[in-house]
Amino acid sequence: MRKIIFVTALAATACKPPPTDADMLREVPEAKDFASAPLPSPDVTGALWAVSQTTENRLIYGVPGEASLIALECTGSSIQITRNSPADEGAGAMLALVGNGHIGRLPVDATRMGGRYFWVGEVPAMSDVWEPLAGPRELIATVPGAGTVELHPSPLPGALIEACRAGEPFDPASLGEPEEPEDEPSTAP
């Protein structure tokens, strides 16, 4: 019986020739597109969370008077995050939020806004991915190639998340006097 199994196994392997180096000589198409060079992490000295002056249920994070770095918006039962950093057309990545004892990862895609591409992702408000933003301590947001943004603590992101989860309009007045820049920074980096 052993001989029959051995002979059958030997016969089955004899039907297929072994690989050769000739397989390595096939033509490989030349890659034409490369990802842009990685960007450095932005300086966040003086950055703060602020209520958008142009869009309801939206927060922005950045240095007053400069382009915003992050935008957070409740869009019905979901929250959309925008990392205002140039992205390559057609690119996708994972944005990581790390801090306050939590790690949240969400997919972001290069999305055309005002003639340029930026990183945008949207996840249900009930997702645990938003927990790093709901705490009282500093955290970071990072997208590969777009640098790491240090996010200073503020009650605004947690309040926006809570309101979005409850299906209620975001009311920053309920937190006391919100931090507001004179003008909303533009999305141009």
51-73 pLDDT tens trace: 999 999 999 999 999 999 999 99
Query: Using CA atoms, how far apart are residues 118 and 70, in angstroms rounded to an integer?
Result: 10
Contact 80, 127 (CB under 8 A): no
> Is the confidence at residue 39, as pLDDT, over 50?
yes
Per-residue model confidence (pLDDT) at position 40: 87
Mean pLDDT, rounded, for 1-23: 54
Query: Using CA atoms, how far apart are residues 19 and 177, in angstroms rounded to an integer?
Result: 71
pLDDT band of 174, cuts 50, 70, 90: confident
Q: Which amino acid is at 135?
A: G
User: Can you read off the two tokens belonging to residue 171?
Assistant: 């009311």
Provide the mean pLDDT of the chain.
84
Per-residue model confidence (pLDDT) at position 189: 44
> Is the confidence at residue 178, as pLDDT, over 80?
no
Per-residue model confidence (pLDDT) at position 11: 56
pTM score, whole prediction: 0.75
> Is the confidence at residue 134, as pLDDT, over 70?
yes
pLDDT band of 36, cuts 50, 70, 90: confident
Q: What are phi and psi of 8, to 5 degrees?
A: -65, -45
Mean pLDDT, rounded, for 173-182: 59
Mean pLDDT, rounded, for 130-154: 95
pLDDT band of 45, cuts 50, 70, 90: very high
